[in-house]
Amino acid sequence: MADHMAHHIRVEAGQRAEDVASIPAEAVAVWINGKVWDISRPMPESGELMWLTFADSAGRHVFRHSSAHLLAQAVKRLWPDAKLGTGPALEDGFYYDIWLPEPLTEGDLPRIEAAIQEIVAEDFPVERMELSRDEALKLFEERGETFKLEIIRRIPDGAVISAYRQGEFIDLCSGPHVPHTGVLKAVKLTQVSGAYWRGDEKNPMMTRIYGTSFPDAEQLERHLQQIEEAKQRDHRKLGAQLDLFTFREEAPGFVFWHPKGHQLYRTLEDFSRRLQQERGYQEVATPWIYRVGLWERSGHWDHYRDNLFLIERDDELQGVKPMNCPGHALLFKGTTRSYRDLPWRLAEYSPLSRFERSGTLHGLMRVRGFHQDDAHLFVRPDQIQSEMFGVLDLVDLVYRAFNMPYEVVLSTRPDDYMGDLALWERAEAELESVLKARGLRYQINPKDGAFYGPKLDVYAVDSLGRRWQCATAQLDFQLPEKFELEYVDQDGQPKRPVMIHRAIMGSLERFIGILVEHYAGAFPFWLAPIQVMVLPITDRQLPYAEAVQKALLAAGIRAEVDRRNQKIGYKIREAQLQKVPEMLVVGARDEENQTVSVRIRELGDVGAKPWPAYLDELRLKAGQIWD
């Protein structure tokens, strides 16, 4: 991905970046015509060059892939008989799979880190080598790299084979990489585990070494502190502590919502529903099981079959829906439509199911059963920009409500795309035009679109600075073709509509997991499952406490009374542990004076307030989200 609002520099095919401009100290690679390229490598074609730094996601990928090479070089220095597997970059770091003649433990990591720092100080240039198949086989055979030889033999005939050299170290790799090892200043190795070569238990066991890296020690230290804070905010831990949800072995990948968790879920759903109703969306519900023929027609059978839950009954195969779009296409097709009927905006919150492998399940973040704030917009081609603007307006409104800044990414045609190339190019151009007209800063993620269309992905940034892909808006010219959707245009001729697939929060389950960690369980007043806890000091004040609760509930405020025969200090601590936004303590004097003693989560004791006048303040606080 490249920052598409960066400074552009014109470069001709065959030129190097250094031929046309001085290289910024922080540059790690370049972006040209949708490709990430080594700074020192001749450009593949003429175009607009942009510098990539660690601040760009594509730049971070290059930086951390280079860090994996750095790790492998250090291991080879310490264990010359080690044999290299593969070492990819990850979202927040990297790993390298290496066969070692002796077991490695986390106690060995400081020794490897010291070797890494030596290589960084030596500041080797990182040089690309292009090889014929015979040259590559000879080179890696001489170096005893049996796993690399296996990879080379799998490379298709005619494909470019490349390797990268830094000092004495050479690795088979397509690149790109940073220009020199001195760039990789702050590297931390974090974990050692085992992994079978190519994930096959019949193959040798490799040692997998994980790490992360940053341009300087300060950023690395912040990241490590963030990891520790994230452990404390883990939504699985807080979900149990706050009595929101659980998972059980009887239904792997499906959520058991407890009353408070379900209230949180319903509040989010109601928030979404109200926003959409105000903007002309109509809510529908469609079947959750379809004959396989529907999935064949939509393209999901060819491109998404492994993620479908399949059911066979009466010698017929059916699939549980993983998304709503084919059902919405059938609804559109059910009647003759005019150009005046468009745009037609359908919303749905029905349950969806996708088969995720058991090893990938992770709390609310990766589940098999979920719900989306899902919608499909059927639009005329001349309405694409205005409708996409409306989607982006919703994105902005929702993420502001949660105090989460966001980044927009344009994901383009994947290798396994469906449909006509010209329609794809048109769809990508339409989305880029929307972003430019909107004046949005955005990045491009090549080959990461859905199989039926390019998309805008929105990455929300939480309070720890972590990026979460949540909202998506996909422009689809393919499904209307597959389902032969038509509307009658003003010239009386049938025309194809365009579909916009969009979700703003995405999976509500996953979004709740993100919010739990974003707020560390301390939800804002409007969102909190219990907004007010009423705490009678003794049982004698219980009738007054219940009258206060009744008034709160009548005002639409979620309130409970702690009726337990416990001291008030205990009740206050319990409410604090449950992160309730407000506590109303009521004692004999409060009952006599018709007051409530208010404790606010962030402020502590703020004193006695007249009741029911304070109810008006709480009512205003509950409605602030709509102000």
Specify the DSSP class assigned to residue 56: S
Q: Which residues contact 506 (CB under 8 A, 6 or more apart)?
A: 372, 373, 469, 470, 471, 472
Concerning whether 396 is annotated as a catalytic residue, the answer is no
Q: Which residues contact 187 (CB under 8 A, 6 or more apart)?
A: 67, 70, 71, 113, 116, 117, 120, 211, 212, 213, 220
Residues in a beta bridge with 374: 348, 503
CB burial readout 28-57, b (16+ within 10 A) else e: bbbbbeeebbbbbbebeeebebbbbbbebb
Alpha-carbon distance of 324 to 310, in angstroms, equals 16
Q: Which residues contact 84 (CB under 8 A, 6 or more apart)?
A: 72, 76, 96, 98, 99, 145, 147, 148, 171
Distances (CA, A) of 138 to 131, 241, 568: 10, 59, 79
Catalytically annotated residue among 325, 457, 478, 562:
325
Alpha-carbon distance of 30 to 37, in angstroms, equals 5
Alpha helices in 402-556 (DSSP H): 421-438, 478-482, 508-518, 542-554
Concerning whether 237 is annotated as a catalytic residue, the answer is no
Concerning whether 108 is annotated as a catalytic residue, the answer is no
Catalytically annotated residue among 3, 38, 97, 374:
374
Cβ neighbours, 10 Å, residue 81: 10
Alpha-carbon distance of 608 to 128, in angstroms, equals 72
Long-range contacts of 41-45 (CB under 8 A, 24+ apart): 41/16, 41/128, 41/175, 41/176, 42/13, 42/14, 42/15, 42/16, 43/11, 43/12, 43/13, 43/14, 43/15, 43/16, 43/17, 44/13, 45/13
Strand positions, DSSP E, 360-400: 369-379
Please state the length of the chain.
627
Is the preceding omega at residue 454 within 30 degrees of 0, hence cis? no
Concerning whether 258 is annotated as a catalytic residue, the answer is no
Is the Cβ–Cβ distance between 552 and 532 less than 8 Å? yes
- Cα-only R_g, the chain: 29
Catalytically annotated residue among 64, 501, 571, 599:
501
Alpha-carbon distance of 266 to 260, in angstroms, equals 10
Concerning whether 354 is annotated as a catalytic residue, the answer is yes
Catalytically annotated residue among 73, 166, 372, 443:
372
Catalytically annotated residue among 223, 354, 366, 371:
354
How are beta strands 186-196 and 604-610 bridged, if at all?
A: unpaired
Catalytically annotated residue among 148, 177, 376, 380:
376
Catalytically annotated residue among 455, 510, 571, 579:
455
Residue 128: name the closest of 84, 187, 69 by CA.
69
Concerning whether 200 is annotated as a catalytic residue, the answer is no
DSSP labels for 254-320? --EE-HHHHHHHHHHHHHHHHHHHTTT-EE----SEEEHHHHHHHTHHHHSGGG-EEEEETTEEEEE
Tokens found for residue 575: 């409410």
Concerning whether 376 is annotated as a catalytic residue, the answer is yes
User: Which active-site residues does the annotation give?
Assistant: 325, 354, 372, 374, 376, 455, 501
